[in-house]
Chains A and B, each alone.
Chain A
Amino acid sequence: MPFEVAAEVVANRALSADYNVLSLAAPAIAATTQPGQFVMVKLRTGHDPLLRRPFSVFEILRSNDGIPTGITLLSKRIGQSTALIYDARPGQIAACLGPLGRPFTIVDPPTEAWMVAGGVGLAPFATLAEALRARKVKSTLFYGARSGRELFYLDPFRALGVELVLTTEDGSTGERGRVVAPLDRMLAARAASAPVMVYACGPEGMLAATAKTAAKYSRPCQVSVERIMGCGMGGCYSCVVPMLGDDGKFHHVRSCIAGPVLPAAQIRWD
């Protein structure tokens, strides 16, 4: 069940000229969020911009004694709303509704977790990596960006015991090229009897390529999709994804309530 919180901005850290991490005080949301879930957020700004924006919950903030106090959002400045998020100052209030949507299904050993992130698609994997660690699941993060300057939070993932496979389009860090290339190689090298769950979040093209690659090696794959979303509650039918139904036909499914985490094999990638 979601909570509507008037969440105070408690910190805002710029990671680059485009990326920032916004910290919001939202104990009720922090205490109930599962990896892969999202929130609908709008800074108090009147009617322009009008709608909230969906953000994956990036991290859970906790007090010194471990009590959940808030959440952080990883944001990339693209439009008007993300520019406001980038420029937000401590003390500002954000309307924050969540947690929303279906979380990742978390595997258990001996299945390994291979997370595939592109750019701001890193967001849902910080909490997933924590949950995997708690279950002692061996985890790898395939993480791609335009350049090394846009690869963030590597140390926290390393601290959780996550193996990192990095790619950049300009070759400045890790392997030059797209993140799906090492994923394909490593899946090809892996014994079919050794189970893997592929988790992916990032640009649509990367998700489609990851889904195709996972299918090529008959590996299950959960993708966190991003759609233009109006309400996050199932009210507006804006954020649909064509999904294969039990009847063998494709149906438009609302990614806000059926997702954002969806089984990749059932999605029609247009």
Chain B
Amino acid sequence: MDLSVHIGSLRLKNPLIAASGCFGYGVEYADLVDLSSLGGVAVKGLFLNEREGHPAPRIVETPAGMLNAIGLQGIGVRRFVDEKLPELRARNVTVIVNVCGTSVDEYAEVSRILSDAEGVHAIELNISCPNIKEGGIQFGCSLTGTFDVVSAVRKVTRLPLIPKLTPNVTDVASFARASEDAGADAVSLVNTFLAMVLDVETRRPKISNGMGGLSGPAIRPIAVRMVYECRQAVKIPIVGMGGIADARDALEFMIAGATAVQVGTANFVDPLIWGKLLDGIRDYMGRHSIARIADIVGTVNDHAHS
């Protein structure tokens, strides 16, 4: 069985990627998980400088999901390159770095630094974090903003470039198209859905930032629909995510059009999920006589139910 997939020039040994913001810098899980067994690890979003993020409480659980507003706490790109990347390199991890910025110049500068570092395999452009005021979402919610950021970063790196799209827009496919037009190698979607949970006793929001991003199984059908829409709109690969909790869910995203998938919230529930997902995908391939997992990508049977 061939589990490998390609994102631009990047070959992943399997389609499973740990989602950014849900797996620290990868090293946190090294005692428990063979990081090199994953298709890739998307590390926590990095700006040029360190950020402290929002005060606690930063998450609240919701039915089959959770809301988070971490506020992109992070150690900054230089400390990442100095302190985390050597260990990831030594562990043969396929490293996808989630790049953040408050300006087009910052996105480009962070990407340039990562392009010069040894052991970075791809850049995921975070233009979709709903939880900070400056940067990010302001680019991801504007077609010209998306085009401008992707174009600027495209000029400074030859690494596979994967803008991460927000679902908090009317037509996510048009943002996939803007990314493709600007030279992206793939798009990843969805980031979290902007949401809110209140404590009715105190009438206060349950997390310090007020609003946060909804993730987990609750959002999965919407995310699958968005991947499906983007598949019709662009030729570049799609990295699908949003509530994947088992192999069936991962396969659903791939059939809808995702070449690879990311798993985030479910890793909190079960940090050993990766082996189970791979076993489930292999079992499916066996049952359906599929030799190459890449062959199921974008194979929705659109015929009407009879």
A61 on interface, CB distance cutoff 8 Å = no
Contacting pair B55 A242 (CB below 8 A): yes
Q: CA of A51 to CA of B61 in the docked complex: distance in angstroms?
A: 7
Report B-chain residues with C-beta under 8 Å of the C-beta of A238: 56-59, 68, 70
Binary interface profile of A, 225-264, with partner B (CB < 8 Å = 1, else 0)? 0011011011111111110000000111000010000000
Interface residue? A205 (CB, 8 A): no
Chain B residues near A52 (CB-CB < 8 A)? 268-269
Interface residues of B in 43-67 (CB under 8 A from A): 44, 52-53, 55-61, 63-66
Are B28 and A228 in contact, with the CB atoms below 8 A?
A: no
- A224 CB → nearest B CB, Å: 16
**CA A231 to CA B61, docked complex, whole Å:** 12
Beyond A49-B61, A50-B265, A52-B269, is A228–B29 a contact (Cβ under 8 Å)?
Answer: no
Interface of B is mostly: loop
Q: B58 to A235, Cβ gap below 8 A?
A: no
Q: A50-B269, A233-B29, A238-B70 are in contact. Are A227 and B24 (CB under 8 A)?
A: no
CB-CB contacts below 8 Å: B1-52 with A: 21-24, 28-29, 31-32, 44, 52
* CB <8 Å contact, B64 and A231: no
Contact of A236 among B55, B59, B218, B245 (CB under 8 A): B59
Q: How far is the CB of B44 from chain A (nearest CB, A)?
A: 7
Task: Indicate whether A47 sits within 8 Å of B59 (C-beta atoms), given known contacts A233-B28, A238-B68, A240-B73.
Answer: no
Give the Cβ gap from B209 to chain A, nearest Cβ, in Å.
12
Does B271 reach chain A (CB closer than 8 Å)?
yes
- Is residue A1 contacting chain B, with contact meaning CB distance below 8 A? yes
Q: Give chain A nearest CB distance to B182 CB in angstroms.
A: 30
A93 interface hit (Cβ, 8 Å): no
Do B64 and A236 touch across chains, with their CB atoms under 8 A apart? Answer: no
Complexed CA–CA distance, A175 and B66 (Å): 42
For A240, list chain B residues within 8 Å (CB): 53, 55-56, 58, 73
Instruction: Report the bound CA distance from A48 to B63 in whole Å.
Output: 6
Q: Is residue B267 within 8 Å, beta carbon to beta carbon, of the partner chain?
A: yes
A47 close to B68 (CB less than 8 A): no
Contact (Cβ within 8 A) A235 B56? no
- Please name all residues of chain B whose beta carbon is closer than 8 Å to the beta carbon of A270 when the two chains form the complex: 55
The answer to whether B269 touches A51, judged by C-beta atoms less than 8 angstroms apart, is yes
Q: Is the CB of B59 within 8 A of A230?
A: yes
Contacts of B65 in A (CB 8 A): 50
A231 near B56 with CB under 8 A, answer no
Which residue in A42, A47, A234 is a CB contact (below 8 Å) of B28? A234
Give the Cβ gap from B2 to chain A, nearest Cβ, in Å.
29
List the B residue with the shortest CB-CB distance to A79. B61
A250 to B31, CA, bound (A): 29
Report chain A residues within 8 Å CB of B272: 4
Contact sample, A vs B, 21 pairs, CB 8 Å cutoff: A4-B270, A47-B216, A50-B65, A50-B269, A51-B269, A228-B56, A228-B57, A230-B59, A231-B22, A231-B267, A231-B268, A231-B271, A233-B28, A233-B29, A234-B28, A236-B21, A236-B22, A236-B268, A237-B73, A238-B57, A240-B56
Sorted from nearest, which 5 A-B pairs have the closest CB atoms? A234-B28, A47-B64, A231-B268, A238-B59, A1-B31
- Give the B-binding residues of A (Cβ under 8 A): 1-2, 4, 42, 47-52, 95, 97, 227-228, 230-231, 233-242, 250-252, 257, 270
Residues on B lying within 8 angstroms of A by beta carbon are: 21-24, 28-29, 31-32, 44, 52-53, 55-61, 63-66, 68, 70, 73, 216-218, 245, 265, 267-272
